[in-house]
């Protein structure tokens, strides 16, 4: 796993989403001085090796073991990374988590549902077709342009395996109560109106998860509302 480290101060570990790489957080990191930002490219994504894919539970256990070698840090994850942040906090001592638009219910599976349907004998073609679809959407949604670029470095096998896991986890609708049950401070950040679906926002309320709505914003809330997002993260981390 390739890891970048930027700055000095309390440690923030940033976990990217499905098909992305740590570079998606570069603008946010630049706007948050006074912290040591740890930015891994998960196996199969960005600059990391394309080794045989493992599921999200196995990935979370590996990340928890890696984080357990150092003093506890704050873990911040977007989308799939938000799910992983939750799973990591169940396994390892962390100071707190920020879950940005992590999947909570089936309505959040915008990209993973498409990827889960790829034919297993031609995953590369599936990824190419999804990337072409993302390019078309990026004309009206500038936040998708970075996603389109990052997908060029993603392993089709990893993308497909993790998409299957996200769809299955979202179907159970147990991720919101798992965030609520964590023994460390947790903040969920949602983009409104175009981020997580209404059902997921309902689950956050039902399970009394501390959450923040930033609007107008979509799934890449830190791109759509950078100043309010970085301010909220800084407040949460400093309070923790």
160 versus 143: the higher-pLDDT residue is 160
- Alpha carbons 221 and 213: distance in angstroms, whole number: 9
User: What crossing angle do the helices spanning 143-151 and 123-138 adopt, rounded to 10°?
Assistant: 160
Domain count, the chain: 1
Does the structure show a pLDDT above 90 at 96? yes
Q: What is the mean pLDDT of residues 12-23?
A: 98
- Alpha carbons 102 and 221: distance in angstroms, whole number: 12
34-46 per-position pLDDT tens digit:
999 999 999 999 9
- Alpha carbons 32 and 30: distance in angstroms, whole number: 6
The CATH code of the domain that includes 154 is 3.40.50.1820
Q: Provide the percentage of residues in the chain whose pLDDT is more than 70.
A: 100
Q: 47-57 b/e with 16+ CB inside 10 Å = b?
A: ebeeeebbebe
Q: 56 pLDDT band (50/70/90 cuts)?
A: very high
Q: 139 pLDDT band (50/70/90 cuts)?
A: confident
Domain of residue 110: give its range. 2-239
- pTM to 2 decimals? 0.95
Full DSSP string of 24-69 = GGHHHHHT-TTSEEEEEE-TTSTTS--PPP--HHHHHHHHHHHHTT
Q: Greatest CA separation found in the chain?
A: 49
- Alpha carbons 240 and 233: distance in angstroms, whole number: 11
């Amino acid at each position: 796993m390739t890891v970048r480290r930027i700055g000095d101060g309390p440690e923030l570990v940033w976990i990217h989403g499905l098909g992305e790489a740590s570079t998606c957080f570069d603008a946010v990191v630049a706007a948050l001085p006074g912290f040591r930002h740890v930015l891994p490219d998960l196996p199969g994504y960005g600059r990391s090796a394309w080794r045989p894919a493992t599921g999200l539970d196995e990935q979370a256990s590996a990340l928890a073991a890696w984080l357990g070698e150092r003093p506890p840090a704050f873990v911040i994850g977007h989308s799939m990374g938000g799910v992983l942040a939750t799973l990591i906090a169940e396994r390892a001592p962390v100071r707190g988590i920020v879950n940005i638009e992590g999947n909570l219910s089936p309505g959040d599976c915008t990209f993973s549902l498409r990827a889960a349907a790829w034919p297993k004998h031609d995953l590369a073609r599936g990824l190419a077709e999804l990337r072409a679809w993302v390019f078309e959407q990026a004309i009206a949604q500038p936040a998708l342009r970075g996603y389109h670029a990052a997908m060029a470095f993603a392993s089709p096998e990893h993308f497909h395996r993790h998409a299957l896991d996200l769809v299955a986890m979202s179907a159970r609708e147990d991720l919101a109560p798992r965030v609520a049950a964590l023994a460390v401070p947790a903040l969920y950040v949602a983009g409104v109106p175009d981020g997580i679906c209404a059902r997921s926002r309902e689950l956050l309320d039902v399970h009394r998860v501390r959450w923040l709505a930033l609007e107008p914003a979509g799934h890449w809330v830190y791109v759509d509302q950078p100043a309010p997002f970085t301010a909220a993260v800084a407040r949460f981390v400093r309070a923790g």
